Amino acid sequence: MRKFFAPLLVLAILLMVVAPVLIAEAPYEATMGLIQKIFYFHVPSAMMMMLSVFICGIWSIIFLLKKRPAADHVAVTAGELAVVFGLFVLVTGPLWARIAWGVWWTWDVRLTSYFLLWMIFVGYLLVRKYGGPGSDKLSAAMAIFGMANVPFVYVSVDIWRTMHPKTTVVTTLGEGMAIPFWFCVFAFLVVYSLVFVSRLRLEEQRARVEQLFLEASDI
Amino acid sequence: MKMLSSFCRCVWVSGVAVALMLMTTATAWAQQVPPEGGLEGFVPANSLPPAQRMPAAPLLIAAYAFIWVALLVYLWFIWRRLGRVETELRQMEGQLRK
């Protein structure tokens, strides 16, 4: 895992430096103007959050079935990253909304469902930290519940009347907006991988310390 | 026998996960409302409405700065915690060898 770290770090820095240049050169959106450019970091953050939720949910299922600690380490890592990238979405979204809608926050179905999904994963981390013995299984069940909410959050904008842009905005982007957008998605994926690798290593080393502590107490 | 029971458990848990996903999606589709409020797509424009230039810029910069700073701080925290855990690990391994 260590051999991937340095190339990932260099690539992540390069991509994150180039991304704002591409975003600055992208055309303005006709109705929203400059503030729409938050979209280039806001949506990739949301994509990484959803990816994290799926990784956390799937590895939680594997952990519950196979009882493999390695699966739990992946799930914890992904759970924490879901909260971090979800926070990016919840901070950048209101900054966009203030200009585009005139309010920082509204209890719109997309915003509310996304906020609840984020809260589930905040709960996941709290259960992990303070739940005591057996909290790994309880939190794994929470992660599966959280994952089950993802399709609901995704389709909410297409079903209910909402102020939030629909899912079609991504598929209908013109070339001038699509290139910087997909570049940013790739940049976020690389950054996500870098953070994931680091956080997973921390979790694995922490588990080794606990194991050694148990071995030492047996002696 | 043990393998069969493990397989059945796997199918059952996966089934529950898929059923939960279908349930939440089906609930959403069941309450269809004509989708009118949201945008169907973005329309590129060559110039920015002058009234929007000033108020939007600080918020845009704040959004990007927040993500950059938060990512760097989070990575720094991870590396610091990792350094501590690895030091602890080396100490414990040394003590166990003795």
Q: Which of A115-119, B57-61, B91-95 is most confident?
A: A115-119
Between chains, do B43 and A156 touch, taking CB under 8 Å as contact? no
Between chains, do A159 and B6 touch, taking CB under 8 Å as contact? no
All structural domains of chain A with their residue ranges: 30-218
DSSP one-letter code for B31 = T
Q: Is the per-residue pLDDT at B73 higher than 90?
A: yes
Q: Which of A92, A148, A202 sits opposite B67 (nearest CB)?
A: A92
The pLDDT value given to residue B45: 76
The pLDDT value given to residue B17: 80
Q: Is A42 on the interface with B (CB under 8 A)?
A: yes
The helix (run of H) or strand (run of E) holding residue B45 is strand B44-45
B72/A42 Cα distance (integer angstroms): 17
Q: Which of B31, B47, B78 sits opposite A159 (nearest CB)?
A: B31
The pLDDT value given to residue A174: 86
Helix A150-159 vs helix A109-130: crossing angle, to nearest 10: 170
The pLDDT value given to residue B47: 67
Closest CA to A81 of A178, A160, A184, A189: A189
Mean of pLDDT values over B43-56: 65
A158/A151 Cα distance (integer angstroms): 12
Q: Which of A18, A21, A34 to mutate to test the interface with B (most CBs of B within 10 A)?
A: A34
Between chains, do B67 and A28 touch, taking CB under 8 Å as contact? no
Q: What is the DSSP string of A2-71?
A: HHHHHHHHHHHHHHHHHHHHHHHHSPEETTTBGGGGGHHHHHHHHHHHHHHHHHHHHHHHHHHHH--HHH
The pLDDT value given to residue A188: 95
Confidence band of B33 (pLDDT split at 50, 70, 90): low
Q: Is the per-residue pLDDT at B54 higher than 90?
A: no
The pLDDT value given to residue B32: 53
Mean of pLDDT values over B46-72: 78
SS3 (DSSP) at A91? helix
Residues of B in contact with A157 (CB under 8 A): 38
Instruction: Write out residues in chain A with pLDDT < 70, as ranges.
Output: 1-2, 219
Tokens 């699966």, residue?
A: A71
The pLDDT value given to residue A140: 95
Query: What percent of chain B lies above the pLDDT cut of 90?
Result: 21
A77: nearest CA in chain B?
B78
Between chains, do A209 and B75 touch, taking CB under 8 Å as contact? no
Q: Is the per-residue pLDDT at B44 higher than 60?
A: yes
SS3 (DSSP) at A105? coil
Q: Which of A27, A166, A212 sits opposite B38 (nearest CB)?
A: A166
Between chains, do B42 and A208 touch, taking CB under 8 Å as contact? no
Q: Which of B10, B31, B56 sits opposite A65 (nearest CB)?
A: B10
A59/A196 Cα distance (integer angstroms): 14
pTM for this one? 0.82
Q: What is the DSSP string of A118-160?
A: HHHHHHHHHHHHHS-TTHHHHHHHHHHHHHHTHHHHHHHHHHS
Mean of pLDDT values over B65-80: 93
The pLDDT value given to residue B60: 84
The pLDDT value given to residue B52: 55
Residues of A in contact with B96 (CB under 8 A): 212, 215-216, 219
Q: Tell me the pLDDT tens digit for each residue of B12-31.
A: 878 878 877 777 676 666 65
Closest CA to A196 of B16, B74, B67: B74
